[in-house]
Amino acid sequence: MYKNKGRSRFLVLCLAPATILFAIFMILPTVNVFRMSLFERGAYSPNETFVGLKNFQQLFQDSQFIRSMQNMILLVVIVTIITFGVALLFAAILTREKVKGQNLFRIVFYIPNILSVVVISGIFSAIYKPENGMLNSLIGLFHTMTNPILWKGETLVIPSLILAMVWQAIGYYMVMYMASMSSVPESLYESANLDGAGRVTQFFQITIPLIWTNIRTTLTFFIISTINMAFLFVKAMTSGGPNGASDVALNYMYSQKDAGLYGYSMAIGVVIFLFSFALSACVNRVTEREPLEF
Amino acid sequence: MKQEKTTRSGERLYMAFIYIVLALLAISILVPVAWVFMASFKQNSEFYGNPWVLPAGLYWQNFVDAWNGAKMGEYMLNSVIVTALALAMLLVVALPAAYCLSRFKFVGRKVLRVLFMAGLFINVNYIVVPIFLMLRDGDNWLKSTFGSSFLLNNLFMLAVVYAATALPFTIHLLSGYFATLAHDYEEAAYIDGAGYATTMIRIIFPMAKPSIITIILFNFLSFWNEYIISMTLMSSTNSARTLPVGLLNLMQAQQSAAQYGTMYAGLVLVMLPTLILYICVQKQLTQGMTVGGLKG
């Protein structure tokens, strides 16, 4: 009896702080995102008036919101495809082929992941600077430009952002896949070699299927993190400009908050929430396979 | 015979191609980072020529300007305080919780686990606005009742928010490790008369040292580099700033004042601590990630 009492006291003491912090700073705000999207709130007073779905009705007539959603989807899709394609390919090369200096490459490729997005955006503004920027001066070596290329101009800003985001993400996923690929038993490749299967066949028939579970989990989380990363990059690199050409949904949500339109801002938050869950669920469904044992 | 020769030279060509691609990727990462270091030693007038020219001399004044003039020294101290506080709170709160969730059976365990698991899908920046409003309302209430506010523009509260929002990832990672331990350790300790808390602190936590180091590393990087929450919760003009927010302001100010040298010195100041840490612990960092398998 005494022991049982001590046990529950111990459990409560251990679990209560984490549960309380989690409830206050994660569950409550999440619930609030959904609740506040149905209200209108004064900029400085906590008085709220219930407006139903009015914020959402406004939202779908707001061309800037539609544009920011389109940009977000575009960034998520393209960054995911490029990052996963390149990371898987390079991880396979580095684990399968006897590349010298494998460790050095691994260390270097991981560097962007430890830098703050603010630092990366500083680095990329030096790269993209129209006059005397790294990229334009490199291109200038090969052919003379009359007008400098505006990498952060309206037409090129999205590709420029994609490049920066891929630059940041690739190393992390490469290192992760190298770890899971190195656990695939060598004997499988040996027998594949005997059967005359080439590198490409081995990659698609052995490597990818065997680490599929890992790819699936990381893909789901990558999508959620890319929605967020797109915001971090846009906020630091372009602030959504020029003329909203690079705005993404989370950045638009944040700017509405700065404008004091809290209800409207949270309606955007709800759309982002639902979108990210729906997308994760879709990806999860589409990528479902029988897990392979090895 | 001839066939074999062609495949071998094809093989060599293939390997050469691989090395070139790998080297190009490595260069595309190293050169821009190195360039910033180089640029941080240039005088302002040197930024109007070819960007690939080495600096004329080591112009240390940039760092002095950044450290004092742009207050990066003060921001660095703030960042150190917030990161250290947040890490300490996170460990104190997350370690016992993860231990109990993975090693004890009790009512509500499943609910708690599912809740923390669901937290993995919630990105902090999705909920930054409600957090801000909640703290501001709290501040207004405190001001009207006690006459002073506490929640916003406070480094301690920023650390609390960091620690709280890092809980799902940290608990997930730690529980994964605790679940692999055999129950014999605790049973042996109980037989020797150790209580629950003693067993946890003296027996289990020391065994979890590698996982603890991993979560410290990952969370250090995310706290040190974070800027959205910091910018939102520390928004008043005279409030303390963390390093990335200070750098962001410096970068935006630079667009009009064109203080390039100071800006690149600021960039170096922000990334240098993480780079040094990375060089010391790169093995742990690039291997530790296989434990969690996901990014916070």
Encode pLDDT of B55-71 as tens digits.
877 778 888 888 888 88
d(CA B102, CA B174): 9
Q: What CATH number did the domain enclosing A81 receive?
A: 1.10.3720.10
> How many structural domains compose chain A?
1
Which residue positions in chain B have pLDDT lower than 50? 1-2, 291-296
Q: What tens digit of pLDDT does each residue of A89-137 get?
A: 988 888 888 788 888 888 899 899 899 999 999 999 888 887 777 877 8
Mutate to test the interface with B, among A8, A21, A234 (most CBs of B within 10 A): A21
CB contact under 8 A, A22 and B116: yes
Chain B residues with beta carbon closer than 8 angstroms to that of A108: 26, 29-30
Distance CA B24, CA B12 (A): 18
Sign of CA dihedral B160, B98, A218, A268: negative
- The length of chain B in residues reads 296
C-alpha to C-alpha distance for B9 and B2, rounded to whole angstroms: 11
B139: closest chain A residue by CA: A46
- Count of alpha carbons within 13 angstroms of residue A236, beta-carbon side: 30
The pLDDT, as a whole number, for residue B5 is: 56
Cβ separation B224–A116 shorter than 8 A? yes
pLDDT of residue A218: 86
Domain-embedded: residue A12: no
CB crowding B59-91: b at 16 or more within 10 Å, else e: beebbebbbeebbbbebbebbebbbebbbebbb
CA distance A66 to A271: 11
Q: Give the Cα separation of B293 and B295 in Å (integer).
A: 7
In a domain? residue A252 = yes
pLDDT tens track for A34-91: 998 898 887 666 677 888 888 898 888 888 899 999 999 999 999 999 999 999 998 8
- For residue B102, the surrounding DSSP H or E stretch is helix B72-103
Report the C-alpha gap between B257 and B273 in whole angstroms.
Answer: 27
Which chain B residues have a beta carbon less than 8 Å from that of A240?
none
Q: How is residue B187 written in tokens?
A: 């049973």
Provide the mean pLDDT of chain A. Answer: 86
Of B51, B93, B271, the CB nearest to A17: B93
Please check whether residue A255 touches B, CB under 8 A: no
Q: Is residue B161 within 8 Å of residue A25, measured between CB atoms?
A: yes
Query: Is A50 strand, coil or helix?
Result: strand
Per-domain residue ranges of chain B: 71-292
What is the CATH number assigned to the segment(s) B71-292?
Answer: 1.10.3720.10
Residue A293 clears pLDDT 80, i.e. is over it? no
A91 within a domain of the structure (yes/no): yes
Instruction: Please state the separation of Cα A135 from the chain's center in Å.
Output: 25
Question: How many other β-carbons are positioned within 10 Å of the β-carbon of residue B145?
Answer: 8
Q: Give the domain range for residue A193.
A: 63-286
Q: What are phi and psi of A248, to 5 degrees?
A: -120, 165
pLDDT value, residue B296: 38
Q: Is A58 within the bounds of a domain?
A: no
From the candidates B14, B22, B162, which should be mutated to test the interface with A, based on the most A CB atoms within 10 A? B22
Q: Which two tokens stand for residue A279?
A: 């997308």
Domain annotation covers residue A220: yes
Residues 6+ apart with CB under 8 A from B83: B159, B220, B223, B224
Q: Are the Cβ atoms of A110 and B33 closer than 8 angstroms?
A: no
Backbone angles phi, psi at A173, to 5 degrees: -70, -30
Residue B292's pLDDT is what?
A: 44
Q: Residue A175 has which token pair?
A: 């290192």
What value does the mean pLDDT of chain B take? 85
Q: In whole angstroms, give the CA distance from residue B286 to residue A177.
A: 11
